[in-house]
Amino acid sequence: MKISLEGKKALIGGSSGGIGKAIAEQLAQSGASVTLMSRSESKMISIIENLSNDLGQNHQYLMVDFNDYQAYKVIIFDYFKKNTVDILINNTQGPKAGGALEKTVDDYQTAFDLLFKSVVFTTEFSLKQMQKQKWGRIINVASVSIKEPLNYLALSNTIRAAVVTWGKSLSIDVAKDGITVNNILTGYFDTDRIAQLNVKKAEKLGVTEQEVRKTMENNVPAKRIGKPEEYGFLVAFLASDKASYINGTNIPIDGGLLKSL
pLDDT digits (tens, 9 = 90+) for 110-144: 999 999 999 999 999 999 999 999 999 999 999 99
Give the SS3 label for residue 181. Answer: strand
Task: Yes or no: say if 61 and 38 are a contact pair by the CB < 8 Å rule.
Answer: yes
Q: In the beta sheet, which residues pair with residue 67?
A: none
pLDDT in the model for residue 203? 86
Residue 82 carries which side chain, given as an amino acid letter?
K
Residue 255 carries which side chain, given as an amino acid letter?
G
pLDDT digits (tens, 9 = 90+) for 159-170: 999 999 999 999
Question: Domain extents for the chain?
Answer: 9-187+227-245, 189-225
Give the SS3 label for residue 167. Answer: helix
User: Which CATH number applies to 9-187+227-245: 3.40.50.720, 3.30.565.10, 1.10.3720.10, 3.30.70.360?
Assistant: 3.40.50.720
pLDDT in the model for residue 52? 93
Task: Yes or no: say if 50 and 24 are a contact pair by the CB < 8 Å rule.
Answer: no
Question: In Å, what is the CA distance from 175 to each residue of 27, 133, 137, 254?
Answer: 22, 13, 10, 27
Report how far residue 185's alpha carbon sits from residue 149's, in angstroms, rounded to the nearest whole number: 12
Task: Return phi, psi of residue 61, to 5°.
Answer: -145, 155
DSSP states of 47-73: HHHHS--TT----EEEE--TT-HHHHH
Closest CA to 136 of 79, 186, 175: 175
Give the percent of the chain with pLDDT over 90. Answer: 90
pLDDT digits (tens, 9 = 90+) for 11-34: 999 999 999 999 999 999 999 999
Provide the pLDDT confidence category of residue 158 given band limits of 50, 70 and 90.
very high
pLDDT in the model for residue 118? 97
Provide the pLDDT confidence category of residue 45 given band limits of 50, 70 and 90.
very high
pLDDT in the model for residue 196? 84
Direct distance between the N- and C-terminal alpha carbons of the chain, in angstroms, rounded to an integer: 28
pLDDT digits (tens, 9 = 90+) for 191-224: 888 888 888 788 888 999 999 999 999 999 999 9
Question: In Å, what is the CA distance from 217 to each residue of 110, 138, 210, 213?
Answer: 31, 30, 11, 6
Report how far residue 251's alpha carbon sits from residue 240's, in angstroms, rounded to the nearest whole number: 16
> What pTM does this model have?
0.95
